[in-house]
Structure 1
């Protein structure tokens, strides 16, 4: 939790869950959302510089890090971990902090939350950056051997509880390390690794919690069910993201190899630009200076 220099940590009550955030800086508000299997600490190489221009709020998603991890209570629809519920958390957090409108940058699962937030709460988002994803309906609708191999966890974590949770808990450190390296196989190792020991220790502290393992599975179960229903409703109603949107992806990762991100997001966003960075999946940790440049140029 001390990986973001100069940031203070808070728990914000949303009315349904308490969300852990790290906050720093002054200026226009900028919300940062992480992805699987990480926490807000993934922004440690970018957030301090962003805080020179913005009031930065780096949040742990519901179910991750030090945020609450509500039990599903037998909810077969997994609605507690829908991106709609997780997006509502973040709107409540920013409102509680006095930011009814804000800029938003997000990676991986956090970017899926941001996608939903921009559609459900368009009045709140001034500018949006989505990192290294395409919509879940595109992934499930076009899956092939290459996608299934790289995104094995999409199909494992959605299995009925407690099967994946039990297996994950048998060697959480091995699973975490394998997931990080598998999603960015070209990232450096040893001293050059984007995941140095202190960072891995923090990620593991959160990842090995049985409640976190269950919440992560629920996140992916929702992604394979209720979230797809929400995307189908968006298409039926012709809903699109209207705010200026920046899409970034790693040219060495699956998104860069398997999809045309600008073409895909062009079906969803009215005002779109983007670029590929020379890295794998974890852009803010593999290419922090490129991410920082792109965000400063885009966010204004």
Structure 2
């Protein structure tokens, strides 16, 4: 069985449902060059959805249509991912700092007519969302985060069992082009190694999303950008964290998988309370990819929180 055959088998059991049916697709130009790809659906208070690694905005396919009943939902591909621009990394990795990536989202939302908005985010996108709330507190009404603890504190608290489980956190930060060249030998296989680990009884990725993930990840530019994302997290992002003098005041909801690495290795709420003044949340049944593994439970938790904070 080829890697693509295995991918098809992985996706075969999960129907896509309404895979962004009726969504508008837009490319929003940025003042510094490049553009951000967005899927937009619904009407109401604005809600920005930010995906994780190594995915795209397609990860919200089971969540966005339901949220679009109450919100104007903007699902963006982060810079370096999906159909968004992929600038070259630099010596200090600043092009992929979460500050730069958050700045993209401010421009996108302003271009779409939204000065203030709520954010639902996962994984790397949640790290961008954290920086967005820290750097632009007047912009973010509320922030919901899926399956991460804050970057600096995770590195600080990590022990050997976490490093074994998440060795890619360290390996991807090695100097270019070593990780890039290794991944490029078989990007499909690397992607599936990273992601093909749902807890028992949970459905895998749907076919449409998986095909988008594999296609988007297969280019040298995308592989390099994703490595730069991790290099930035281990260097310039921590420098930005260390320069802060206070905690974010944005209301924060944190959900993490009861069967995942966050539950196993970190006190998630305690770490977030070091970084934010108003934090609530809990573990929910699932692994890392909660929006695809258990979308109904995610919606049940984030929906009331986002509605509560949707308006000033």
Q: Is TM more than 0.5 here?
A: yes
For residues 178-198 of structure 1, the C-alpha deviation after alignment (integer angstroms, 9 at most, x for no partner) is 10024x4x155xxx6321333
Structure 2 residue 43 is the aligned partner of structure 1 residue 33: no
Instruction: Tell me, yes or no, if structure 1 residue 86 matches structure 2 residue 93.
Output: no
RMSD: 1.2
**Larger relative contact order (CA 8 Å, sep ≥ 6):** 2
Judge conservation of contact 1:28–1:53 (CA < 8 Å) in 2: yes
Distance 1:141 1:240 in 2: 18
Cα 1:187/1:170, change in 2 over 3 Å: farther
Q: What are the within-5 Å matches in structure 2 for residues 193-232 of structure 1?
A: 193-232=203-242
Which ranges of structure 2 fall in alignment gaps of 5 or more residues?
1-17, 308-312
1:163-185 CA-to-partner distances (Å, cap 9, x unmatched) read 11011011111110110024x4x
State how far apart, in whole Å, the 1-side matches of 2:203 and 2:286 are: 12
Q: How far is 1:208 from its partner?
A: 0.5
Matches of 1:295 and 1:143 in 2, distance apart? 28
1:8 aligned to which of 24, 47, 53: 24
In structure 1, what is the equivalent of residue 310 of structure 2? none
Deviates more, 1:39-48 or 1:263-272: 263-272
Could you tell me how far apart the structure 2 residues matched to 1:199 and 1:22 are?
13
Task: Report if aligned partners of 1:66, 1:206 keep a CA contact under 8 Å in 2.
Answer: yes
Aligned residue number for residue 191 of structure 2: 176
Preserved contact between residue 125 and residue 243 of structure 1 (Cα < 8 Å): yes
| Alignment match, 2:5 | none
* Structure-2 change in CA distance of 1:187 and 1:217 (3 Å): farther
The answer on whether the counterparts of 2:19 and 2:62 sit within 8 Å (CA) in structure 1 is: no
Secondary structure at the residue paired with 1:49?
A: helix
Alignment map for 1:27-176 (pairs within 5 Å):
27-72=44-89, 75-176=90-191
- Distance in structure 2 (CA, Å) of the matches to 1:173 and 1:161: 20
TM-score, length of structure 1 as denominator length: 0.94
Distance 1:187 1:95 in 2: 42
SS at match of 1:123: coil
Q: CA deviation at 1:217?
A: 0.5
After alignment, is 34-43 or 13-22 more displaced? 13-22
Task: Report the alpha carbon displacement of residue 137 of structure 1 after superposing the two structures with TM.
Answer: 1.1
- 1:64 CA displacement: 0.2
SS of the residue 1:122 aligns to? coil
Q: CA deviation at 1:275?
A: 1.5
Contact map agreement 2:157 2:266 (CA 8 A) in 1: no
TM-score (norm 2): 0.90
Total equivalences in the alignment: 289
Question: Matches of 1:149 and 1:7 in 2, distance apart?
Answer: 40
For residues 144-165 of structure 1, the C-alpha deviation after alignment (integer angstroms, 9 at most, x for no partner) is 1211112111111111111110
